[in-house]
Amino acid sequence: MLEYKVRCRGKIKGDNADLKLILSTYNFSFWFNGENGFIQLDRNGNVIAMISIGGVYRIYSCTKLSCKDHVDKLYWSLGLRENLNEFHETALKDPLLREFISKYPGWRLRSTSLWWALVVGVCQQNASFRQGWKMLYNIVKNYGRKIVLEDHETYLTPTPQDIIEKPELLKKSGTGYRWKTILSIAHWFLEHNVDCKALQRSKAEEIEEILKSIKGVGEYTARLALVLALRRYELPPVDRWLRKIISVVYGVSEKEAEDKWVSIWGRYSGLASVAVTVALDAEPLNKALKRIGEGKISPIEDNKITPLTMWKYL
DNA sequence: TGCCAGGCGGGGT
DNA sequence: ACCCCGCATGGC
């Protein structure tokens, strides 16, 4: 067993990013403990960044590595390379995101690998927010790729290979019929030797079609992966939840909802989709609609599981 | 305790 | 291009 050692150190130069907020969003206890976050920077888990909410980071790996490339990747993962001025301008005029963005201008989307982003998408299919994230928590824990960085313990995401070797652990993780889809995604990754840099050069529509070629990956999951892994926002993931919310808030039919959304958010449509789920604490539809009616459209501090607090409970 | 939920594909029209 | 149904779980 090789030992992880610190290979690079530094401090994040923060525009106005709020690292605690960024690390809190849709995260698990083994990747964020309130003080330090752990971010996997490569496909196999050989390179891991540990970053404090104050911005001090260390990059660990078992072998020597190029610091410049990996620090760059860390900035990318934390969303610090994006200029969101245009997104913020729109948000401050928007009834759904105005409150959230004015309260949390330092929010950025934390990205994941394409592989994991697809698994995340599949676990959101036809399930509640909480059920989906519980599945993901179980998957990481059950595959059990625990590692130790000096005196810190954390977990790697399972690799496609791990899944193929032990597909039964997927069912044990409570994924129900989704286990087949996750397994086919794993096979797809091994067979295609996916090159994300090359994928990035393609049009979003083309990437969406490629991802949809995997059985069980449809429009929603493909687009969520574009958002979470590639920071491509022009094609928004719109599920039943968001579709209904759009139709109520902007007074359009559910059929027109997606077009309306894109007409408002343009090239930030996908980012806005995710931001709304955070703003409304991922409440189930009826509660979310009630919150909107009451004008409570920013996260509420409470002792319950929300996108911003789930790291305390899972 | 029966519903039913931030999709999806297959089979109908 | 549509509409409709079943689907594994876990949570209410």
Strand A152-155, strand A146-149: pairing: antiparallel
Give which of A37, A40, A202 is closest to A117, Cα–Cα: A40
Q: Quick check: A129 CB within 7 A of strand C?
A: no
Q: Quick check: A142 CB within 7 A of strand C?
A: no
Q: Strand C contacts (CB < 7 A) among A residues 257-286?
A: none
| Residue pointed to by tokens 């130069």 | A13
Q: Report yes or no: A90 and A110 within 8 Å, Cβ to Cβ.
A: no
Q: Quick check: A184 CB within 7 A of strand B?
A: no
Domain boundaries, chain A: 1-81
If DSSP codes are grouped into helix, strand and coil, which group holds residue A103?
helix
**Pair of tokens at residue A230:** 């590639």
Q: Report yes or no: A96 and A216 within 8 Å, Cβ to Cβ.
A: no
**Pair of tokens at residue A303:** 């002792």
**Pair of tokens at residue A135:** 């599945």
Give which of A272, A47, A234, A218 is closest to A147, Cα–Cα: A47
If DSSP codes are grouped into helix, strand and coil, which group holds residue A96?
coil
Q: Strand B contacts (CB < 7 A) among A residues 290-309?
A: 307
Spell out the per-residue pLDDT of chain A, length 314, in tens: 679 999 999 999 977 999 999 999 999 999 999 999 999 999 999 999 999 999 999 999 999 999 999 999 999 999 999 999 999 999 999 999 999 999 999 999 999 999 999 999 999 999 999 999 999 999 999 999 999 999 999 999 999 999 999 999 999 999 999 999 999 999 999 999 888 889 999 999 999 999 999 999 999 999 999 999 999 999 999 999 999 999 999 999 999 999 999 999 999 999 999 999 999 999 999 999 999 999 999 999 888 999 999 999 99
Taking the CA of residue A81 and the C1' sugar atom of nucleotide B10, their distance in angstroms comes to 42
Q: Quick check: A126 CB within 7 A of strand C?
A: yes
Kindly give, in sequence order, each residue whose CB lies less than 8 Å from that of residue A278, ignoring residues fewer than 6 positions away.
A25, A26, A100, A107, A299, A307, A308
**Pair of tokens at residue A120:** 């995340």
Taking the CA of residue A69 and the C1' sugar atom of nucleotide C10, their distance in angstroms comes to 42
